[in-house]
Amino acid sequence: MKEYEAVVIGGGPAGLTAGLYLSRYGLNTLLVERGLPGGQIVNAGRVENYPGFPNGISGMDLGQLMQEQAAKFGLNFTTAEVSGLKREEKLFKTVTDDGDLLSGVVVIASGSNYRKMGLEDEERLTGRGISYCATCDGFLFRDKDVAVVGGGDTAVSDALELSQHARRVYVIHRRDQLRASQVVQKAAMAVAKIEFVWNSIVVQLEGEEKLSNLVLKDVKTGVTSKLEVSGVFVAIGLIPNSDPFRGIIDLDEVGNIPTDELMRTPVPGLYAVGDIRRNSARQVAAAVGDGAVAAKSAFGYLKGG
């Protein structure tokens, strides 16, 4: 069983930043990631709202640069799936499919997965007209027609964001009224280029090289119709990657991890950063800040400060 001073679970911007700072503090640190470095950000065709890149940068490139920088300061990496986390006396045991790890502190940065529509061709057209982040990709659809699927605060806020770029924004909702807050609803209703498509769901995606049409179904009449759009932004919720941690900490009602302002969970020595933590801003810049704060907190904890 390998032992480290710190283990970071997740290789998105929050986890990579936490690992970078922990390594710079001189701690023997391992980052465990099951996929590509960068987390969800690798799905962004272009990131234009992260400081330091005035011309934007692809999500894939940004994740790679973050990993290279963290490695420069001595961060260790391994590719593995985490299935559990336990407390054994004064140490944590991180259970993975590549063996168990012991450490004095753990930073959970496992993020969330976007809830998908579950349609054929959804994976194929992701990044080719289908997006899950209006803030990341909205600018790519300047002067084009787009749609947003959902009716909560995120969906309507996405529609407002997209209205700054797109020619027309259709909000597709399965009910005849929104779940979003009244303030957000009122703002969207006042924008002429935002159009609401009520009592409708997307049942099919069309397009060869890129998305060209949505096939909609009226849930009351059963009638189907086509909507020609260049892009669709799916905003039907997030699924926190928190199942492996249910045995060690109480999660909130949606599965996020509660923390204080120093990224500390109620379990001493355990921290949570980025999208996995409750009230996350779910932006790269905020995730990076979370990682830096957690690393400083963890270093102080290990050194008795």
Strand residue runs (E) in 219-273: 224-228, 231-234, 238-240, 270-272
The residue annotated as part of the active site, out of 97, 98, 121, 137, is 137
The answer to whether 121 is a known catalytic residue is no
Fill in the amino acid letter for 174. Answer: R
Residue 199: burial class (beta carbons within 10 Å; 0-12, 13-18, 19+): middle
Q: What would the two tokens of residue 75 be?
A: 């961060």
Dihedral in degrees, nearest 10, Cα atoms 14, 19, 21, 25: 160
The answer to whether 218 is a known catalytic residue is no
For helices 153-162 and 182-189, angle between their N-to-C axes, nearest 10 degrees: 30
The answer to whether 98 is a known catalytic residue is no
The residue annotated as part of the active site, out of 133, 158, 275, 290, is 133
Q: Are 171 and 195 in contact (CB under 8 A)?
A: yes
Measured from the Cβ of residue 210, the count of other Cβ atoms closer than 10 Å reads 12
The Cα–Cα gap between 10 and 53 comes to 24
The residue annotated as part of the active site, out of 136, 158, 275, 290, is 136
Dihedral in degrees, nearest 10, Cα atoms 305, 266, 283, 175: -170
The Cα–Cα gap between 108 and 216 comes to 39
Residue numbers annotated as active site: 133, 136-137
